[in-house]
Structure 1
Amino acid sequence: MVVQDGKIIALGSAQPRGEVIDLKGQTVLPGLIDNHTHPKYIADALHGAACTPPLVNNMAELKEALRHTPEYGKGRDVWIEGWGFDESKLAEHRSPTRDDLDEVSTTQPIFLYRSDCHSSVDNSRALELAGIDENTPDPVGGTIERDANGRPTGFMREVAASQLLIKAKSAISYENDVKNLVNSSTHYLQNGIIAIGEMMGRLNPYDSAKLYQDAYQRGFKPKATLHYVASEITKPFEIIRNAHMQVSGLKVFMDGSISGETALMKNTFVSGKKGVSLTSPEKLAEIIAYAKGHHLQVAVHAMGDKAIQTVIDVCQDLDPWLKDMPSVRIEHASLLSDEMLKQIKASKVGIAISTQPIFFFAEEDSYRTFLNPNQLKMVYRLKGLHDQHILFSLSSDAPCTPWAEPDSPFYSIYAAVTRKTSSVQTINPEEKLTLPQALLAYTRDAAKIGGFINNGTLTVGKDADFVVLDRDIFTVDAEALKEVKVQET
């Protein structure tokens, strides 16, 4: 492979010229692309506490993890952060409360993300800084949970409620946010990730595009695309597109999560719950019209089958409006029937799917507990997507799952190829991908969906972004896939 000025200019039998680097038979892949992740959250999580299995399994361990963050014991405006708890995986089988977190600190604010990154728990100091008390109304699309006396418990259910705390936290820590994002470069490159899709772009309390621009000036490395949360678009914004970053789309939330029993279902969860509807079909159509007028992609979070069906119904007969990427993509698409697969395949607009096998890998208990057998059979239909020739990618949604390494591509690839979970059980083994299929979903197809037109394959004319592995991924036993490491990016 001959590289000049960062581009691949020749392959195969070309004669070496200039500096020669001999990798001595090591395995090279195109740089991996995580086109659905949350880099701002990852940047926060890297210095926060991972409150996930196998590290944290009960409330005492959770509190101790928070006490061991670098921020613990600092000033009154220094936030202590944690991520990844799932009440079903804690020995107490309940969520933490403000009172639990107050045992860690009453002087410093504490923000603790649930595993789905939709909900959070906060201590009394954090609630005070966000101005939340007994009289604060619930935000549209979210709930401030309260006890029998109306006192907020600290649990902020769904994105709209958690965002009240995030705004309070970010308003006083912009420079820290830039520094954390720059420092996260090492994390991405160690995982072989050369491009990322930021799926929670914000305009308040500051513009996420400015965060990335300032981070690039200070050395942030991965390329990025940015999707703004559609519900925050109340005024025109600058659509930036350059070699490092492009504002490429709008993010829409149709429902919640499987593990939180808030995904919108055609039939109820085993518990009788049907999930939550966060965006009406009419509002989705309105957002799509805005996106078409501004040449933006629409990425729709839909986990429950009713939420996914709504997206299909609204979008399937539309003409595509983008050339370099799909105009509409469904994020997660956790439950897909045969009929829905056929409808997606036949869609005129060309619906693409960005899905995450790390969810069934890390959240098996929730899926088996909350879903009935027929629903479980529809979970993460990877081979179904491949067999229908639907464009799909694998991604992480990190850190939004209860696993200590949520955006390691090789855990996701392992789950896609083996259909095994963290407890070595198997879910829908007939939906296995082959290893090459899984790798293409993290490279070529992730580039197509995410709009990374200069990446995805190592071919002449593309950017020379590649990874060197510590072993030959094509010959290792499938059980060893999750142990593959990137030697160099």
Structure 2
Amino acid sequence: MKKTYINGHIFVGDSEDHFANGMIVENGRIKWIGNDPVPEGETIDLQGQTVLPGLIDCHTHPKYIADALHGVACTPPNVNSIKEMQEALRKSPAYGKGEDVWIEGWGFDETKLAEHRSPNRDDLDAVSTTQPIFIYRSDCHSSVGNSKALELAGIDENTPDPVGGKIERFADGRPTGFMREVAASQLLIRAKSAQSYEGDVQNMVKSSEHYLANGLVAIGEMMGRMKPYTSLKLYQDAIKGGFAPKASIYYVFDEIDPEKGLQPSGDAKLRVAGIKVFMDGSISGETAFNADPYPSGKMGVSLTSKEKLTRAVNMARENKLQLAVHAMGDQAIQTVIDVTKDLDPWLDEMPSVRIEHASLMSDEMFTEIAHSKMKYALVTQPIFFFAEVESYRHYLNAEQFKLAYRVKTMLNSKAMLGLSSDAPCTPWAEPDSPFYSIYAAVTRKAANGDVVNANEAITVPQAVLGYTRDGAKIGGFDDNGTLEAGKAADFVILNKDIFTVPHDELQTVRVKETWMAGEKVFEN
């Protein structure tokens, strides 16, 4: 059936200043877009409302979001201490539901807690010793579990640290419950997931409404797993149950069988897109790998050697996959550039190498990228400095801080820029709302009002393109990103005109309606 939309303020998305007032949709695609259409089929009056192409979060963690939506937000302003965290966990819908039901939480940052420390197993045991409890730290790298969770994961004083992670211990050798970095957290996650696959599928299905409410029609799953089940199977089953967003999956390199490799597969709805490598940790966790030490004297954590990164590059190149590399610290980013800059790109339609976060980049790095053979994407998250500026001020020296999230420089570089959330990996109640990232990218203001490197501000249209056209190109969502003729009729209608609202009000913009394939799938 044909639909004609009239009287709109439609951002086409192929440039910073291309707008139209009408479009015609047929068979789920844009048939025509321009001004003053001759109506065909049903006519829908947009009444001057602002329309954007469907938004794309090209770096996020949907499985974690699905867990978080039924978990407890251990973030300010509601949780400001371990005591308040305990009280919040006791109010979880899972509390008291039986020994097989995990109580889950997310988002704590020890620097924001009154005790200025992370919770441990004893703190969580005060909530329950019979139900397993699992809480993600704000960076989604580290986590904490209670004694029951440790028991189910088979973790005790004799358990060795996994490669790339650390099981924190009390003075007597007993695990504290704090699992530092992804490799350690996975010990708890696997125990949790092994018990609740059907629950994981249902959580994914339920999360669909959350994404549509944020206008997100396509997402990049940046923590693809092979164990205890494959992420591809999880998404396939979730889609059967009604999960709506399109998705691309990037599998963690360490879980890919080197003998079998990994082949690209799928279609416009669901794709195996790439390989994910972790070079380091997070700045707020003092584990991002920097050239200069942290105030504590720590140097951060180098998780992947040049030799291992080269193996990942070779696998990606041989299988025509993207390589997505988590690199926050300047030394980690430099290593990625050193290993890849002189290589020919192996993908034609999108960047072969994605540097995820790219938190601290020097002028010299941008110069190297400008003269490199490689085709890069820089996928960054302005919401990080918006929500975590206190940690950045504390852990970075003045010169490092000047290099934080140089969005304008990225935009003007040879690399392609994508904006994203990395949700739920930041201590903010709405970690994947695109409008907080857009607000931060445009105003350079943090939640507390602190201004972060104002010279790196970009315009609203540029920020929107980072969530539409450029996010689609980086993530391989060829049907999306713009509302040009032939593209999927995936679009959002906003409650305000994002292009004219005062910049300080950008964080109040919300999605009024989301449409996919020309059908309304969400209405607020």
**TM-score calculated relative to the size of structure 1:** 0.99
- For each residue in 1:109-156, what CA deviation from the matched residue of structure 2 results, as whole angstroms up to 9, or x when unmatched? 000000000000000000000000010000000000001100000000
User: Is 1:9 equivalent to 2:34 in the alignment?
Assistant: no
What SS does structure 2 have at the residue aligned with 1:20? strand
- For each residue in 1:222-257, what CA deviation from the matched residue of structure 2 results, as whole angstroms up to 9, or x when unmatched? 000000000111252564312310000000000000
Match of 2:366 in 1: 341
C-alpha distance in 2 between matches for 1:450 and 1:342 = 25
C-alpha distance in 2 between matches for 1:243 and 1:59 = 44
Range moving further from structure 2, 239-248 or 194-203 = 239-248
Asked whether the 8 Å contact 2:268–2:478 carries over to 1, the reply is no
Match of 1:143 in 2: 166
Identity %: 68
User: Is 1:253 equivalent to 2:278 in the alignment?
Assistant: yes
Asked whether the 8 Å contact 1:55–1:404 carries over to 2, the reply is no
C-alpha distance in 1 between matches for 2:357 and 2:370 = 16
> Of 69, 76, 87, which aligns to 2:99?
76
Match of 2:252 in 1: 229
What SS does structure 1 have at the residue aligned with 2:347? coil
- For each residue in 1:194-237, what CA deviation from the matched residue of structure 2 results, as whole angstroms up to 9, or x when unmatched? 00000000000001000000111111000000000001112525
> Of 207, 215, 218, which aligns to 2:241?
218
C-alpha distance in 1 between matches for 2:435 and 2:289 = 30
C-alpha distance in 1 between matches for 2:24 and 2:123 = 58
User: Is 1:456 equivalent to 2:481 in the alignment?
Assistant: yes
1:83-162 equivalence runs, <5 A? 83-162=106-185
Match of 2:75 in 1: 52
C-alpha distance in 2 between matches for 1:216 and 1:384 = 38
Runs of 4+ in 1 over 6 A off after TM superposition: none
Aligned residues: 489
RMSD: 0.9
Asked whether the 8 Å contact 1:413–1:439 carries over to 2, the reply is yes
User: Is 1:385 equivalent to 2:410 in the alignment?
Assistant: yes
Asked whether the 8 Å contact 1:78–1:109 carries over to 2, the reply is yes
Match of 1:66 in 2: 89
Letter in 1 for 2:189: I
What SS does structure 1 have at the residue aligned with 2:266? coil
Cα pair distance change 1:468/1:243, threshold 3 Å: same
Relative to its length, the structure with more strand (as a share) is 2
Asked whether the 8 Å contact 2:268–2:477 carries over to 1, the reply is no
Report how far residue 14 of structure 1 moved: 3.5
Asked whether the 8 Å contact 1:345–1:351 carries over to 2, the reply is no
Match of 2:232 in 1: 209
Asked whether the 8 Å contact 1:96–1:121 carries over to 2, the reply is yes
Asked whether the 8 Å contact 1:302–1:333 carries over to 2, the reply is yes
Match of 2:429 in 1: 404
User: Is 1:354 equivalent to 2:379 in the alignment?
Assistant: yes
What SS does structure 2 have at the residue aligned with 1:308? helix
> Of 307, 315, 320, which aligns to 1:290?
315
Match of 1:22 in 2: 45
1:257-336 equivalence runs, <5 A? 257-336=282-361
C-alpha distance in 1 between matches for 2:176 and 2:151 = 13
Match of 2:9 in 1: none
The answer for unaligned runs of 5 or more in structure 1 is none
C-alpha distance in 2 between matches for 1:389 and 1:418 = 24
**TM-score calculated relative to the size of structure 2:** 0.92
> Of 267, 282, 286, which aligns to 1:242?
267
Cα pair distance change 1:325/1:379, threshold 3 Å: same
Match of 1:43 in 2: 66
Range moving further from structure 2, 347-356 or 42-51 = 347-356
- For each residue in 1:63-106, what CA deviation from the matched residue of structure 2 results, as whole angstroms up to 9, or x when unmatched? 11111111110111110000000000001100000000001100
C-alpha distance in 2 between matches for 1:154 and 1:389 = 44
Letter in 2 for 1:126: A
What SS does structure 1 have at the residue aligned with 2:299? coil
Letter in 2 for 1:307: A
The answer for unaligned runs of 5 or more in structure 2 is 1-22, 515-524
C-alpha distance in 1 between matches for 2:373 and 2:385 = 30
- For each residue in 1:324-355, what CA deviation from the matched residue of structure 2 results, as whole angstroms up to 9, or x when unmatched? 22110100000011111121232211111100
What SS does structure 1 have at the residue aligned with 2:43? coil
C-alpha distance in 1 between matches for 2:295 and 2:153 = 36
C-alpha distance in 2 between matches for 1:60 and 1:267 = 35
User: Is 1:184 equivalent to 2:207 in the alignment?
Assistant: yes
What SS does structure 1 have at the residue aligned with 2:265? coil
